[in-house]
Chains A and B, each alone.
Chain A
């Protein structure tokens, strides 16, 4: 006869976990790297590109391992697209560093090693925050940024969805 004055605190029944689920690779694998800054061009037409590498097992991404080269303005483009189309609060980018682009500086301006490293870290933080966001993962612009060779600025914005495990 159970005493109603003392609560029953025994655990609720649950299904035992499948061992392949318990010890297998997790379904949330997503690794993003921004590295290998390279400055291309000469004189006033120089700019720096960074390698953006993504490894994942999320079905929403077509490629499970992709590498592209992107410059700062490409990141700015992505931020603007997401701010306009998605409902998420887009994290901040590292600064534009306009002062560094003015003439008559004593140093290399935006091509200073220390500055490039600081910017690389900021871009890596930015893309990590975005790529893992469930709502950002639905945006066409993010997929193009991460997995297409080059960004087509005349693309048609839209959503990406999973259908039966395949991205459409």
Chain B
């Protein structure tokens, strides 16, 4: 910020191509507030234009070059000085010279790799942003625009259930089962707890979802645990042979996909914690890791499918139905 009233300065404004139609998502900032940002995916081209508006319309703006950068970086809160950039792209928009009037520059980064999901955590932050810079001798003028990246996955081929018998010898034996080991963020955990031996006075049982953020390596590993959810599944004392169902809808909780060893800097993992509490407030628990993944939104129906639906609406004939069935079969094959 310049405190001198003479001299020229400029305002920079970054506009993404198709900004009106592009989806925006909410993302938490470091101080806990939620803001909306444009959503981008891995491999997508990042393009748009930069408006450089001169503050004093009459004067010229001398500069040492104008450039646009696309950066993906990891910032560890306890080591703020060092930003680890894992994506760093630059495009020169203008050679050193001068601007006599406000100007707009186009930019395009084709098929940009965005390997990790944007994440704002307790001790670490991973962010992607565009930064436009007008270089000058004494002080640069720059503007940053954060964007959010989501990493998508498809239904895993292998998704076995979790089934285990645990307990305290001669006191409490249970068998717990969760229908899958990998759940997407809007999935439902379906399971059951079967009591084999109950010699304790249990008062209630709950299932907690715990998020563990791990930062650092070697001897300096630090875990930050956060209980995302506590969900009571049983109230009262069970006896042998009783089966308690579990149905936990994940869409209601703010969670991210499981992130393992991102750029060798941090991990975010999720655990289901089954907790039984007895009459004297003693807690018995069993923790189990689950993998969370992000499913893409409803796939846009292909043109042939859309056409088939349209024709059915107007014609209502068997040929239209056949076309619809064929298009559906094609969708599922893909």
Contacts and interface: CB of A to CB of B under 8 A. Distances in A.
B191 A129 contact: no
* Interface residues on chain A, size class: 20 to 34
Given A21-B240, A28-B200, A132-B279, A4 B155 contact: yes
B51 interface: no
Interface residues of B, number: 32
B190 A27 contact: no
Interface stretch (A8-16, A46-54, A65-73, A140-148): A8-16
In terms of DSSP, what is the predominant structure of the interface of chain B? loop
B40 to A, nearest CB: 24
B239 A9 contact: no
A128 interface: yes
Given A28-B199, A162-B170, A22 B247 contact: no
B174 to A, nearest CB: 12
Nearest to B170: A162
Which residue of B169, B172, B199, B200 has the most chain A CB atoms within 10 A of its CB atom?
B199
A133 B282 contact: yes
Given A132-B278, A132-B279, A17 B200 contact: no
B247 A9 contact: yes
Contacts of B194: 14-15
A26 B239 contact: yes
Interface of A: 4-5, 7-12, 14-15, 17-18, 21-22, 24, 26-28, 30, 58-60, 128-129, 132-134, 137, 162
| A-B pairs with lowest CB-CB distance, top 7 | A14-B243, A17-B241, A21-B241, A134-B171, A7-B188, A21-B240, A12-B192
